[in-house]
Structure 1
Amino acid sequence: MIRVGLTGNVASGKSSVARLWARWGIPVVSADELAREVVEPGTEGLQAVTEAFGPEVRSEDGSLDRAALRAIVFRDPEARRRLEGILHPLIGRRRDRWESARRAEGARLVVSEVPLLFEAGLENRFDRVVAVTAPREERLRRMEEDRGLEQEEALRIMGAQEDPPEDGHHHRIANDAGRVQLEVRARAVLDLLRDEAELPSVRIRLDLHLHTRGSWDCLSDPEEVLDRARARGIHRIAVTDHDRLSVALELAERFPEHVIAGEEVKTAEGVDVIGWYLSREIPGRTPAREVCTQIREQGGLVYLPHPFARGKGGSGRLAEALAPHLDAVEVFNARLQSAHRNRRAAAFSVQHDLPGGAGSDAHTVGEVGYTFVEVPHHASTPEHLLEALRHGRVHGRRAPLAVFAASNWAKLARRVGLAPDAPPPAASPMSSD
């Protein structure tokens, strides 16, 4: 069993990480929780604290008056050390019993949240130490706004705890970019810990570029596409029909956890640009920069597929110009027969610090899931997806040449009336009756 010590400064977000890990199925115990238990009425801990600090630290009902005790120890370093000398051994024994119980239950990974881990000299007690950090100004703001403390008291509490040493932990979670990023980073570190404990990581597979009968060169039934994705272990797909959004919107409304509504827009320059999480269709032949703007105005993400493909990718001729307007880049497209063009896309994503995605670009049901990106489990929102992609791993293989015959057949079948037409373009929001 791997024992993890989770620590961090006051208001750094360590308790938020602990709650996330507990929600994801990891046994977690808090030192604060154990500290409350060891001073409950009738315990030797409460008796020892009373003897050390006097009856004024007891409430009328006989319980510990925490506010009174806090006022003493945060003003007097010697008093704080005396309190820690009483509580830490009692908390340690409780933690030992808790860990023994989890071991008996067969747990392979357990977490103890310990605010004063380094101050108490406990860093060597754990197999792994994870430190949660946040900027000092942000921690002060949280204490004033979230906890209602006066600045003087907040600074006094902050001053009672040292910063975690730079080399004293195995993993670090920076809580400096908001709730979404904290969740994804916490998931990424937990995946590493699960690997070390030989536990299955909670990761999901995404196919971020595929087509249905909403595209003019595809006859695939949308539900069959989704069924095939699930059968191949793909948790979520992005339906990105050519210049059409209606099928993707309908499927995403019915299966919001498993479908991202997207569109692959053929721009005026002849280069494709994909929008994820769209609510309004963008007309084909819209200039590329304007496509990016319209995607962002909808709260969506701008994704550049197959940027170095001939024709639909323009052999990279717009990649540099579009780079400042992109959120992510397709670094593996299963329909590209040239591995070199996928490698160029991967290098481009690194050069511009853009997350890399992957997609089968499936135009037949059989192609779905040929390529995917594996990421930490996350809520299906633009912000969560973008952060998850930064921790993604791309897997896949090229589609066989025969798939192109299927696309040609779809175009021919529609042209001669053997298959129904693709959905008409959405009505312009500016049109009138």
Structure 2
Amino acid sequence: MKEYRWELHLHTLESSRCARSRAADMVEAYHALGFEGIVVTDHFVNGNSRAPAVAPWKTRIDGFLAGYRAARRAGEACGLRVLLGWEYYFEGGDFLTYGLDEDFLYAHEHLADLWDLADYVRLVREAGGCVVQAHPFRTAWYMPPDVRQRWDVVDALEVYNGSHAPGKRDWDERALALARRHRLPGIAGSDAHSLSMVNTGVMAFPSSISTGADLVDAIRQGRGRLLRLAKDF
């Protein structure tokens, strides 16, 4: 049966301070691997973003979108589908957001300043998107030690993150157990920040994904198959 591979967690040098490869190079790599598409999930303006921290909202969003727009142009040239997403920061946790467009971002100037994650998720859902907590059990020097697992408000959990070192795979195992316990869908993502990290944790869908709405439906219904380093998960 034909499957359609997608990368759901990817950063670009143009928009994420922690990324090391340009959007066009990432697109070329995934196209060469036979993927149908990728979602560019650069850090949002309230996280590790290259967008200016102090500037008019439009200027900040323009900066945030630089990587996505570069990837989209490259994707149009080679035939790889490129969708917009982002990684939203809240109280030490990261939340992958899917299914929305540029207009949503320009229209919500308060988006980076919300006091309640539930308010953010509600806004996203009302606009037709979904929210997935990324790497819910990761610990790192840049993260507070008491990051909460917000299974109670999100649509799904990232249960496999390709950037985790072999010795840290218990983070993923705990995320998978949490998702199963609360009957939440799980996704995989490479969390690729450079060419060396591509295709380390991806999704294989049974039907083609053409739009953000298609992706949201597939995530919510748990239709994708999780792949890690080309092996079933």
Q: For 1:331 and 1:285, how far apart are their aligned partners in 2? A: 27
Paired position in structure 2 for 1:263: 86
1:231 positional shift: 1.4
1:383 positional shift: 4.4
Note closer, same or farther for the CA distance 1:286–1:225 as it changes in structure 2 (3 Å cut): farther
Higher helix share: 1
Q: For 2:43 and 2:207, how far apart are their aligned partners in 1? A: 28
Q: How does 1:177-256 map to 2 (within 5 A)?
A: 201-213=1-13, 214-244=15-45, 245-247=64-66, 249-251=68-70, 254=73, 255=75
1:253 positional shift: 5.4
* 1:354 maps to amino acid: L
Q: How does 1:385-424 map to 2 (within 5 A)?
A: 385-389=215-219, 390-397=222-229
Q: For 2:113 and 2:120, how far apart are their aligned partners in 1? A: 9
Q: For 1:315 and 1:233, how far apart are their aligned partners in 2? A: 39
Note closer, same or farther for the CA distance 1:276–1:386 as it changes in structure 2 (3 Å cut): closer
Q: Percent identity?
A: 30
Q: How does 1:364-375 map to 2 (within 5 A)?
A: 364-375=194-205
Give 3-state SS (helix, strand or coil) of 2:42's partner. Answer: strand
Q: TM-score, normalised by structure 2?
A: 0.72
* 1:242 maps to amino acid: H
Give 3-state SS (helix, strand or coil) of 2:173's partner. Answer: helix
**What is the root-mean-square deviation of aligned Cα atoms in Å?**
2.7
Give 3-state SS (helix, strand or coil) of 1:385's partner. Answer: helix
Unpaired runs of at least 5, structure 1: 1-200, 398-433
Q: How many residues align?
A: 195
Cα shift readout 1:309-352 (whole Å, capped 9, x = no counterpart): 11477678422xx3243222111001122111101111122122
Paired position in structure 1 for 2:132: 303
Note closer, same or farther for the CA distance 1:227–1:346 as it changes in structure 2 (3 Å cut): same
Q: For 1:378 and 1:316, how far apart are their aligned partners in 2? A: 39
Paired position in structure 1 for 2:181: 351
Give 3-state SS (helix, strand or coil) of 1:325's partner. Answer: coil
* 8 Å CA contact 2:114, 2:120 repeated in 1: yes
Note closer, same or farther for the CA distance 1:369–1:299 as it changes in structure 2 (3 Å cut): same
Note closer, same or farther for the CA distance 1:393–1:316 as it changes in structure 2 (3 Å cut): farther
Q: TM-score, normalised by structure 1?
A: 0.41
* 1:230 maps to amino acid: H
Q: For 1:391 and 1:316, how far apart are their aligned partners in 2? A: 32
1:368 positional shift: 1.4
Note closer, same or farther for the CA distance 1:380–1:301 as it changes in structure 2 (3 Å cut): farther
* 8 Å CA contact 2:89, 2:95 repeated in 1: yes
Which one has a bigger Cα radius of gyration? 1
Note closer, same or farther for the CA distance 1:310–1:367 as it changes in structure 2 (3 Å cut): same
Q: Which has the higher contact order (CA 8 A, sep 6+)?
A: 2
Give 3-state SS (helix, strand or coil) of 1:241's partner. Answer: coil
Q: How does 1:10-159 map to 2 (within 5 A)?
A: none
Q: For 2:67 and 2:153, how far apart are their aligned partners in 1? A: 23
Moved more, 296-305 or 339-348: 296-305
1:249 positional shift: 4.7
Note closer, same or farther for the CA distance 1:361–1:293 as it changes in structure 2 (3 Å cut): same
Give 3-state SS (helix, strand or coil) of 1:294's partner. Answer: helix
Paired position in structure 2 for 1:327: 155
